[in-house]
Amino acid sequence: MQNRALSLAVAFTFLAGCGGEQSSTPSPIVVEIPSVTPLPPPLPPPTASFDFSPVRARIDQFTVNDVAVLVGDERGVLFRYERGSMTTTRPVFIASASKLLMGLTAWLLIEDGVFSASTPVNTHIDFWRRDPSDPRSQVTIEQVFAFTSGFNGTSEQPSCIGNAAYSLRGCVQEIHDGGTDTLPDQSFNYGSEHMQIAALAMISARNRSIDLIMRERLLDRLGVSTETRSTLGSGDNPNYGGALRSTGEDYAKVLAAILKGDIFRNRSGFLLDRVGTRPMRTVPPAISQNRLAWRYGWGFWKECSAPTYTSACNERPVISSAGAFGFAPWIDFDRGYWAVIVTEEPLNRGFDPAQVSIALELQLQPLIANALRR
């Protein structure tokens, strides 16, 4: 198990093409955040029985033997199923499912007044260019979470992201100094650089690590265990868009809170489509190979079952944030439930774990809706 975890962790480390001097970090501005009243305990699940046998039967046909699935609503878990060696309490690498937690934490900081969606990142990153003629000066907090910042490096390219030889500040400075690949706010490009920039802005604004910001502002309020945290081994420079570990039970508490909505003042703003008419130049293979007409929000996908993205998909959203190793959470706001597929598959098995988990998600969605009679 130790070797398996190590092999998975390596996927977060990008060593090629990295090196160089590191800049010293100036004393950041500390922003005091108002005290937050803890949320009340969730309501107990309803006593009505639901027939989830078709859901269970479909999971039993899944390509991956070691899988667990949780389904619930704002009151708690309605269905729990574990197969093989996977459990809902086992900590796993969640890869890009980290993006939803990063985005949610940043949105709560916006609601606290730490920054706004339109705040330029150079407000909180001191070395960032401020010359209005330089496109980098135009990059905003919203753009780094919407993946429209113009910094479009992908995980397949050599990068300092995840390299412990770099500090986060040194890595983001290297990204900054390399310049934008496209003009900010012009196109969507799925990649790792956006959230690395976002992480430094958040840390600088709050003078705390991302783990501590996330725990203080979100996780402790929901009773999420300390198993949900950044992976170790990369100093303060893990891949912030994909370096969290969590459990199905922990992640379910976050999904239930998003669905319930009382952690927000403006949940509808959080759920907005951030792509609009911009071209989507780079998308993950799990999205393109499943031929999905999805768009992107604030650290999550906005799903659509139509051949092209429609207004109905925006008005009755299903949001998701599947990870490279098959961990796949989603929330269906129209039918009022959340679900998460828990797997942790290496990338060398001859199939794409994210792609097969997303395919299972799409097959389970109508079965869950029928089971819930919604």
Report the chain's mean pLDDT, rounded to a whole number: 89
State the Cα–Cα distance between residues 58 and 203, nearest whole angstrom: 43
The pLDDT value given to residue 22? 40
Quickly state the pLDDT bin for 366 (edges 50, 70, 90): very high
Quickly state the pLDDT bin for 85 (edges 50, 70, 90): very high
Is 248 a member of any domain? yes
State the Cα–Cα distance between residues 344 and 359, nearest whole angstrom: 16
Determine the structural domain holding residue 218 and report its residue range.
Answer: 49-372
Is 106 a member of any domain? yes
The pLDDT value given to residue 41? 52
Is 3 a member of any domain? no
Is 361 a member of any domain? yes
- CA of 260: how far to CAs of 173, 223, 280, 332, 333, in Å? 39, 15, 31, 12, 9
Segment 254-310, tens digit of pLDDT: 999 999 999 999 999 999 999 999 999 999 999 988 889 999 999 999 999 988 998
Is 65 a member of any domain? yes
> Which two three-digit tokens encode residue 88?
């809902």
The pLDDT value given to residue 12? 38
The pLDDT value given to residue 2? 42
The pLDDT value given to residue 48? 57
Q: How many independent structural domains does the chain possess?
A: 1
| Percent of the chain surpassing pLDDT 70 | 87
The pLDDT value given to residue 54? 98
Is 25 a member of any domain? no
> Is the whole model's pTM more than 0.85, yes or no?
yes
Q: CATH number, domain at 300?
A: 3.40.710.10
